[in-house]
Structure 1
Amino acid sequence: MKRRHLLAVGAGALAAPSLARAQDKYPERTVRLVVPFAPAGPTDIIGRMVADKMTPVIGQTMIVENKAGGAGVIGANEIKTAKPDGYNLLFATSSTHAILPTAMTKVPYDPIKDFTPISSVCVNPLVLVVHPSMPDTVQGLVELMKKNPGKYSYATSGTGSILHLTSEYFKREVGGMDVVHVPYRGSGPAIQDLLPGNVAWMFETFSTMLQHHKAGKVRILAFAHQKRAAIAPEIPTMIEAGVPGFEAYTFNLFLGPAGTPKNVVDTLDQATRKVMADPATIKFLEDIAAVPTPDTTPERTAKFIQGELNKWAPVIKAAGIKLE
């Protein structure tokens, strides 16, 4: 009996490392990346590019699945409830993990507890854009708005959007301005009203507005990031334009459901870093004025999310934004 017991223990000891190796092997099949917005938007475009780049690095296909609705809530909630095995990931944004957790009265997930931070891909800084009839500097615009309370209006893609919050943040940082908010159902209609001067200014992504700027249809006054954009280095940052510390952007992160195993996180983290070090990836992002995150780690991703939540919560509360 003793000899049989020793043989069984020995066999178990030999099998244990093999079992561990089998569990550590990831990925073994297609990885699904949920983009919580409709196709063809900035998040979708960046998500598909990164998924294509990740595929050869991880040795399995990474596919993008669009789950639009609720400003990102539907897609985020789907990943919250998915099995934490690394085969279902979220391409998180400022909407899902910086704005909605504070702005929504009943958001169905906790942005920290319900997700596992994996890596950061990029931030997409916004620009302050005006109709050509407006002053050609940020300080000139602020002065005009303050001298004419209630006379001018600004456009956003909707109440509670990153464009709206950035505008509220801007107003607060320059000491307050009495300007009428005109929310639209998306950026497209907002831009269409900015072009003829029906509204005076707005914040928008650089890539969306650059061609209009070059054609003289609008004027980009400043870039809301700490460094100037590589594709338009002549445009100053908001900080250089006289608004200290002002940065505002959308962002894209890889997140898994809470409880995603460490080996999965490590594999995806290392793969993301390889992709973000690729010159072609960097050029793709810089060409749309996005800023790559080459030094990503799970720890920095977690810290980044908390920082963005802390940044936008007081802006949301001061503006009295409540989304159902």
Structure 2
Amino acid sequence: MIHRRALLGSALAAPFISLLPRAACASTWPSAGPIRLVVAQGGGGNADVVARILVEALEPVLGQSIVVENNGTASGMRATEDVSTAAPDGYTLLVGTSSQLVHNIALFDPLPVDIETTLRGVAMINKVPMVMCVPKDSPDADLAALTARILANPSGFQFGSGPAGTTTHISGALFLQRIGAEGVVHIPYPRSPEAMVDLVAGRLNFVFDPSLTAIGQVQGDAVRPMGVSAPVRLPALADVPTMAEAGLPGFVSQTWNTISAPAGTPDDIVMTLNDRINEIVQSDAMRSQLESLASIVPPAKTPEQVDSYYALQRETWIPVVRGTGVRRDG
């Protein structure tokens, strides 16, 4: 009888015991070891630059090292899968951008992982418009002149971007759709900085590059900016007109950088991250640094507001991306 009672007690206790590791993990986080911050692109790109700026400020606040891991395979889908299927313990996070959390939903058929249910928003960092750039010795003084030449001979033009389906690609495809040009050659690169290298060398006719990485080339007179795809001019690029001012009304296209986590990550961990990241990003020093890189720092968002932002972006952009006809396989 005693033996049976002991077995019964053990059986009843087992489910509660199984919960202890996660509860203990949540209460002691992040003391168990380094945090992985997965970036769904190669080094030197917009999200990578922002991730490393954030990590430098966040590590001392959390008292734990943060390891940035770059994986741009399959337009960032492999990185998104990695985080979606990771243990929801706060030790694996994603730098979530428009390319990975919105565009890929429209691009991949079938979608390898249900991004909308396997990830949750943690915090907003910044927004990054695109800058349309041409070689510095381009014969086109403005967007109207470039558009006229493209329409006269579409097949004679080449534009470059990061991997297919990323914001740099979708922005270019949307531009061509808006002006009614068919036949322009698209050349995707493993990393968007590589497209900029070829533009500077005169091997491409135009690129849409994130303002955060394009600003160095623009300020160094290595390229000529045609316009920035933001609603208003950027203070750091005050001389560059918006695409609307340049002659393409309503053309707004931007990526953004957020932090996402596996869907089951405990609320207390998510809230701790949200509080710390918001404090850092909204500080005068960080805001100044990000704005000097021609990006926009929006007001702080709660995790729930980040999720709502994802939902609104998907509602707005998935039909646009599908309308470009761009597709990817697995």
TM-score (norm 2): 0.81
Identity %: 27
Does structure 1 retain, via aligned residues, the 8 Å contact 2:169–2:188? no
CA distance in 1, matches of 2:124, 2:60: 19
- Aligned twin of 1:57: 61
RMSD: 2.6
- The aligned counterpart of 2:159 is 154
Aligned residues: 304
Cross-structure match for 1:287? 292
Does the Cα contact within 8 Å between 1:154 and 1:179 map onto a contact in 2?
Answer: no
Structure 1 unpaired stretches of 5+: 1-18
> CA shift at 1:24, angstroms?
6.4
Unaligned ranges ≥5, structure 2: 1-19
Q: Which residue pairs with 2:325 in the alignment? A: 320
Any residues of structure 2 matched to 1:119-268 within 5 Å, and which? 119-131=123-135, 132-174=137-179, 176-185=180-189, 186-268=191-273
Does the CA-based 8 Å contact 2:177-2:324 persist in structure 1? Answer: no
CA distance in 1: counterparts of 2:212 and 2:183, whole angstroms? 26
Indicate if the aligned counterparts of 1:33 and 1:62 stay in contact, CA closer than 8 A: yes
Write the distance in 2 (CA, Å) between the matches of 1:149 and 1:45. 34
Counterparts of 2:30 and 2:215, CA distance in 1: 42
Counterpart secondary structure, 1:64? strand
Q: Verify the 8 A CA contact 1:27 1:60 in the aligned structure 2.
A: no
1:27 aligns to what?
Answer: 29
User: What residue in structure 1 maps to residue 7 of structure 2?
Assistant: none
* CA-to-aligned-CA distance 1:268-290 (integer Å, 9 cap, x gap): 11112101112221222123222
Letter in 2 for 1:65: E
Aligned residue for 2:245, secondary structure, equals: coil
Quick check: which one's helix share is greater?
2
Q: Deviations over 1:189-230 (max 9, x none)?
A: 433443354432221123433344344442101111123222
One of 77, 82, 87 as aligned partner of 1:78:
82
Are 2:158 and 2:184, in contact at CA under 8 Å, matched by a contact in 1? Answer: yes
1:308 aligns with 2:313: yes
In the alignment, what sits opposite 1:38?
42
Range with greater deviation from structure 2 (146-155 or 82-91)? 146-155
Return structure 1 stretches of 4+ with deviation > 6 angstroms: 21-24
- DSSP 3-state at the match of 2:86: coil
Deviations 1:276-305 (A, max 9, x none): 112221222123222223322222211222
Deviates more, 1:149-158 or 1:72-81: 149-158
What are the residue-to-residue correspondences of 1:96-135 with 2, within 5 Å? 96-131=100-135, 132-135=137-140
CA contact (8 A) 1:88 1:256 kept: yes
Tell whether the 8 Å contact from 2:154 to 2:184 is kept in structure 1 after alignment.
Answer: no
Deviation string 1:246-271 (CA, Å, 9 cap, x unpaired) is 22222211111112222222211111
Deviation larger for 227-236 or 179-188 = 179-188
Query: Within 2, Cα distance between the matches of 1:215 and 1:35?
Result: 27
| TM-aligned CA distance change 1:40 to 1:129, over 3 Å | closer
Which sits farther off after the overlay, 128-137 or 93-102? 128-137
Alignment pair present for 1:48 and 2:52: yes
C-alpha change, 1:50 and 1:26, in structure 2 (3 Å) is farther
In 2, the alpha carbon distance for the partners of 1:182 and 1:65 equals 28
Kept in 1: contact 2:26–2:89 (CA 8 A): no
TM-aligned CA distance change 1:207 to 1:22, over 3 Å:
closer
Shift of 1:179: 4.7
1:69 aligns with 2:73: yes
SS in 2 for 1:82: coil
TM-score (norm 1): 0.83
